[in-house]
Amino acid sequence: MQNKDEVRKVIQSCVGTKFIARWSDLACDIAMDAVKTVSMDMAGKKEIDIKRYAKVEKIPGGTIEDSRVLKGVMFNKDVTHPKMKRRIENPRILLLDCNLEYKKGESQTNIEIMKEEDFSKVLVMEEAYIKKICDEIIAFKPDLVITEKGVSDLAQHFFNKAGITALRRLRKSDNLRVARACGATIVNRTDEITEEDIGTSAGVFEVKKIGDEYFSFIEECKDPKACTILLRGASKDILNEVERNLQDALNVARNLWLEPALVPGGGATEMEVAYTLSQMAKSLNGVIQWPYKAVATALEIIPRTLAQNCGANTIRSLTALRAKHAVEGEKNVNWGVNGETGELTDMSTLGIWEPLAVKLQVAISILLYS
């Protein structure tokens, strides 16, 4: 995986026939950068969760060349109070999963007010509760407070006086990405906050207006294990298609990062395995040979389908390909069907490679269902 040029060739063979082919270099760079960012070593084993920690954010406008991988995260949120700071350098970030407003009763609650003073007492109780939880937060001097729940007007007032910026009702998935990017821990209760829970790895927090909406950016993180892929394009339809193509590139990069092993594409691998199984079947007697023949026939569907899609003569192409693989020698192992012309070609010369992890998964499926 250290040789980026070789990895780029494999990803380009994946996106080369798709809509994003015109920007294949950009797509390859985005895929490699995103996968490298979210890669983690967990007890000696690599973990790359691109579905959870590499979010694709699509914003219509601009050109596809403006797309990039952020060294951090972004989400569609604005500050809760207009006087709060919209740009903070090296912020101390506190992430919460609790309400910063008066707690309502879990079951139906009735309050009987007999005098005018009683209503004032209820308001004082609410204000005292909000002030208590805000003081517990302010004591740790965070610059940015993000919660998955609500923030009351009174809490916004206390935060604004303390010079703290607050964001509310952030999705759980986005909050997890922020936690990874800035090194914070999501806290469930304000009285359980510790100094270790504060995230200090982010370089800058900034709110930007793109089009008609406001987006919060947490960027320049020291070692982000989460990222946001910002896609720009002319329309939503184009962006949706680019995202679908990019997901393929991301999965190829992920498979190569986890298991950097390649096999030739174009049906070459399937035909070689099919030929080997056929030879094994000939050496066996009785009904035991039929499972080998069945799997061999199932594997030949891949080169047959490629030939059909090109409009080539399927029977002649398959017969010629079998003959190629029947000749002993390492060079013939790489021969497959050219997906554009339908001719038999050496896949190593054409530069068509596929991750071994995908082929193994396909082989397991064929063995289970054939």
- Distance (Å, whole) CA 170 – CA 149: 7
The pLDDT assigned to 135 comes to: 94
pLDDT value at position 179? Answer: 94
Encode the chain (370 residues) as per-residue pLDDT tens digits.
Answer: 556 777 888 888 788 778 888 888 899 999 999 999 999 887 778 888 998 999 999 999 889 999 999 989 999 999 999 999 999 999 999 999 998 887 765 666 677 777 777 777 777 888 888 999 999 999 999 999 999 999 999 999 999 999 999 999 999 999 999 999 999 999 999 999 999 999 999 999 999 998 889 999 999 999 899 999 999 998 899 999 999 999 989 988 888 888 888 888 888 888 998 999 998 998 888 888 998 888 888 888 889 998 888 888 888 888 999 888 888 666 688 899 988 888 898 888 888 888 888 888 877 776 676 5
CB distance 29 to 246 below 8 Å: no
Q: Three-state SS for 238? A: helix
Amino acid present at 318: L
195-206 exposure pattern, b = at least 16 Cβ within 10 A, e = fewer: eebbbebbeebb
Secondary structure of residue 356 in the 3-state scheme: helix
**Tokens found for residue 255:** 């498979």
- Predicted local confidence at residue 106, as pLDDT: 61
Is the whole-model pTM more than 0.85? Answer: no
**DSSP label of 100:** B
From the list 176, 213, 170, 251, the residue with the least C-alpha distance to 58 is 213
What pLDDT shows up at residue 92? Answer: 95
Specify the pLDDT at position 136: 94
Q: What is the 3-state secondary structure (H, E, C) of 134-202?
A: HHHHHCCCCCEEEECCCECHHHHHHHHHCCCEEECCCCHHHHHHHHHHHCCCEECCHHHCCHHHCECCC
Q: Which of 206, 249, 201, 170 is nearest to 7 (CA)?
A: 249
- The kind and range of the H/E element at 335 are strand 335-337
